[in-house]
């Protein structure tokens, strides 16, 4: 994810200067600033509680890989935003207030909005398009976002959109994966709806030309007989794949 974001950001910056300004030799911005609007809550998968550590890890990677750029980030928080619904209702107000209050010199840095995305993606994309700011979401997406007239600066890595067939196929080819084993834990009530949607949409996002064999199984980690549930699943996995890795806790 970090390498993908870094390359996408740098390519977007180059094209902006070469095509919009018409000067190919113009210097690229020396600072890339990532802003992530959202809220902290362990009970919601799309909260910054789960997303923020990934941003920090990704920044460490791109700083080593692209040291000539000054990579900075901030998390845009508000007391009025506590969940996905309040984020949707307040995102344009909060983001606009942040954007127009930026200090002098902000025009010389490349601003990128990177966030999980709940129900606010459509509203985020409207501002991003008007400001010519790159918007990347990891889960949320907008309907018909393939329309570049309406969404000129918006991309997503969300597995929930059926437009990700190229992304998935590229990942499988890069990792040399020909067999996928999807194990769905139905016993976690907190994120049950999220993981159920993942289990349902992932097979739909894998087109036939990927030539990937997908096997789906489910179990409940909160059930008393969880060991009995897992034994046949692991035997089935072992019969289909020889690659199995585990790490001690």
Kindly report, residue by residue over 158-188, the tens digit of the pLDDT.
Answer: 766 656 667 777 778 888 888 887 777 777 6
CA distance 5 to 62: 9
So where are the chain's domains? 2-158, 165-240
Mean local confidence (pLDDT), 103-121:
85
Contact present, 159 and 171 (Cβ < 8 Å): no
Can you say how many angstroms the Cα of residue 121 is from the centroid of all Cα atoms in its chain?
Answer: 12
Q: Does pLDDT of 129 surpass 60?
A: yes
Q: Where are the alpha helices (DSSP H) in the chain?
A: 2-15, 48-65, 84-100, 121-131, 165-175, 192-204, 226-240
What proportion of the chain, given as a percentage, has pLDDT over 70? 72
DSSP per-residue letters across 117-158: -SS-HHHHHHHHHHHT-EEEESS---TTTT-TTT-TTEEE--
Statement: residue 245 has pLDDT above 70: no
With the CA atoms of 171, 44, 52 and 168 taken in that order, what torsion angle do they form, in degrees rounded to the nearest 10?
A: 10
**pLDDT at position 204, please?**
66
Q: Is residue 194 very low, low, confident or very high in pLDDT (cuts 50, 70, 90)?
A: low
The HSE-up count of residue 121 (CA atoms within 13 Å, CB side) is 27
Contacts of 217 (CB under 8 A, 6+ apart): 181, 182, 183, 184, 233, 236, 237
User: Under CATH, which architecture does the 2-158 domain have?
Assistant: 3-Layer(aba) Sandwich (3.40)
191 or 230, which is more confident: 230
Nearest Cα to 139, choosing from 112, 118, 164? 118
Q: How far apart are CA 35 and CA 219, in angstroms?
A: 38
4-26 pLDDT per residue, tens: 455 455 444 444 443 344 444 35
> Would you state the structure tokens that stand for residue 204, as one six-digit string?
């739909």
């Amino acid at each position: 994810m970090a390498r993908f974001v870094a390359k996408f950001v740098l390519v977007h910056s180059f094209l902006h200067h070469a095509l919009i300004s018409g000067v190919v030799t113009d210097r690229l911005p020396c600072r890339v600033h990532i802003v992530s609007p959202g809220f902290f809550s362990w009970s919601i998968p799309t909260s910054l509680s789960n997303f923020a550590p990934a941003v920090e890890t990704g920044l460490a990677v791109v700083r080593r890989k692209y040291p000539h750029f000054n990579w900075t980030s901030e998390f845009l928080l508000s007391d009025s935003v506590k969940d996905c619904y309040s984020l949707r209702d307040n995102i344009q107000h909060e983001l606009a207030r942040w954007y127009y209050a930026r200090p002098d010199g902000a025009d010389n840095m490349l601003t990128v909005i990177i966030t999980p995305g709940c129900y606010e993606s459509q509203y985020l994309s409207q501002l991003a398009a008007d400001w010519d700011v790159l918007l990347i979401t990891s889960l949320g997406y907008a309907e018909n976002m393939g329309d570049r007239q309406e969404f000129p600066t918006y991309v997503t890595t969300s597995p929930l959109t059926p437009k990700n067939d190229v992304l998935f196929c590229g990942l499988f080819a890069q990792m040399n994966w020909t067999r996928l084993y999807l194990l769905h834990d139905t016993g976690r009530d907190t994120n049950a709806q999220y993981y159920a949607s993942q289990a349902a949409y992932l097979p739909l996002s894998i087109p036939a030309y990927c030539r990937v064999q997908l096997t789906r199984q489910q179990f409940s980690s909160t059930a008393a007989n969880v060991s009995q549930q897992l034994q046949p699943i692991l035997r089935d996995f072992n019969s289909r794949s020889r690659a199995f890795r585990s790490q001690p806790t």
